[in-house]
Structure 1
């Protein structure tokens, strides 16, 4: 006799398969250009009057812990850095886009030097420094005078110095420091593999573009933290304290899907020879094949509530850092990945031109659109040539 639970199991398996629909979009230079333009139009329209993006509005029943007002300073800096970087990478030269870039740059110049952690319980400011640094690097690259280049390099060095200040005693960076009840000058929280990778990659990009100085001792300390969080299959556990349970759902390959690209790229650019082309190729392919797992978590209001404890806000993070690792492959191997990723991004674009994955106050559309535009700009440049 067949147990009654079997039909229920079959239904569960079928429904899971259906949730992982294959993104379907026509990918060619025209469709990609049109998608980028729609994303740019959204950001230009969505920009705040003061030049930033996002704000502490559009709350819901369950909101991310955010001590007032400092957490929102950090969220806005991070969202604005991503949105501005997306506009810059788009290459859009329409007058309204250039005006939005100018306003965004002025906001960065005024507000990033003031950014600090909200209180001893959070280090959300790390995201603001890292993504502010991304935007600064791009502003440096388009600067037309030596004076402007010097200005952006000075601001970038300041952001790096602030990131150095907030590196955790265990090595690397995290965003919460509320579990031990201690108030310390240097955070004693839980550095996460992906936050650390985010910072390291922003620092590396800034050094390559501007020649800013990095603290080599701190870089070694931080990369060692990421290595400790790596498992033999190049999954990365969520955070420093997860290394003792590496096969918990969030730490398995599907749970690491949005983290592995970022962590592999960060270690690779800082000289880790174990992150080979084969490793990057494997995880690039795996990302496209298993994108459905990440997609199931999109737009869910409760963090970590779906398969492998995935949160919605993993999605566009993973999309962008896919490009950060894939660009390290030999040039001949990049067009295929660009076409596959572009298909996903085009499929997920919203009717208003934005991209978003998690309802985070009013920051989610700017940050999601910024991530997507940066990723799609890479796809545009690497698409197979006709």
Structure 2
């Protein structure tokens, strides 16, 4: 019911690989945006994707890296340190599709973890081998995770947003490269483009609301 980015199994027209919760979350966010502009999004398609994420959600709202890890829930990447850049996306996606379990307290808990334990992501940033860092974190989760943190901040009450906007700004601004870009992983020839896009989409959401 979810989506994945590799199919190493049967290589069939309908992918046979394991669903990956952060990929499913990314697609669900795009589908919600499509729904907002009038595109019909089938309820069954959405529910199957949400269910796939729920199957991989642990009680503390960390998420398995993929459904193939269901018998290894305490493997490093499935623990909070490994889920740090992915929980933001999964929490945001399921919340906007009506998941009442993802409360403001859950969002705040994971935002607090993101900033308190930010070095678990930062220590992986710019490492060239995927998942070579502690908790099997890959470099490309850095700006991805912070972008979805910005989306989670938007869901909080206005009075709770500014603190997290300021924390997110303090993480991202010093990391701008001399050429004006941001990047976290040497991805083919587009690492600067996607890193910069994620950083800017996060930072624009850190602007404080103007007083009336």
Is TM more than 0.5 here? Answer: yes
TM-score by length of 2: 0.96
What is the distance in 1 between the residues matched to 2:189 and 2:38?
A: 35
Which residue among 145, 150, 160 is the counterpart of 1:323?
150
TM-superposed CA distance for 1:381, in Å, is 4.2
Q: Does 1:333 align with 2:160?
A: yes
Secondary structure, aligned partner of 1:254: helix
Which residue among 227, 230, 238 is the counterpart of 2:54?
227
| Aligned residue runs from structure 1 range 294-373, under 5 A | 294-373=121-200
Structure 1, unpaired ranges of 5+: 1-170
* Alignment RMSD: 1.2
* Cα-to-partner distance string for 1:158-203 (whole Å, 9 max, x where unaligned): xxxxxxxxxxxxx11100001x2x2422111121110000000111
Q: Number of aligned pairs?
A: 211
| Aligned residue runs from structure 1 range 191-230, under 5 A | 191-208=19-36, 210-230=37-57
What is the distance in 1 between the residues matched to 2:87 and 2:104?
A: 14
Question: What's the counterpart of residue 173 of structure 1?
Answer: 3
| Aligned residue runs from structure 1 range 152-171, under 5 A | 171=1
What is the distance in 2 between the residues matched to 1:206 and 1:326?
A: 21
Which residue among 95, 103, 107 is the counterpart of 1:268?
95
More helix by share: 1
Q: Which has the larger radius of gyration?
A: 1
Secondary structure, aligned partner of 1:235: coil
Structure 2, unpaired ranges of 5+: none
**Structure 1 residues 203 and 381: CA distance shift in structure 2, 3 A:** farther
What is the distance in 1 between the residues matched to 2:169 and 2:102?
A: 24
Q: Does 1:188 align with 2:16?
A: yes
**Structure 1 residues 275 and 305: CA distance shift in structure 2, 3 A:** same
What is the distance in 2 between the residues matched to 1:357 and 1:183?
A: 30
What is the distance in 2 between the residues matched to 1:221 and 1:184?
A: 20
Secondary structure, aligned partner of 2:168: helix
Question: What's the counterpart of residue 122 of structure 1?
Answer: none
Q: Greater relative contact order (Cα 8 A, min sep 6): structure 1 or 2?
A: 1
* Cα-to-partner distance string for 1:234-256 (whole Å, 9 max, x where unaligned): 00110111121111100000100
TM-score by length of 1: 0.54
What is the distance in 2 between the residues matched to 1:261 and 1:243?
A: 20
What is the distance in 1 between the residues matched to 2:159 and 2:193?
A: 33
What is the distance in 1 between the residues matched to 2:163 and 2:71?
A: 37
- Runs of 4+ more than 4 Å apart: none
**Structure 1 residues 254 and 183: CA distance shift in structure 2, 3 A:** closer
What is the distance in 2 between the residues matched to 1:358 and 1:379?
A: 24
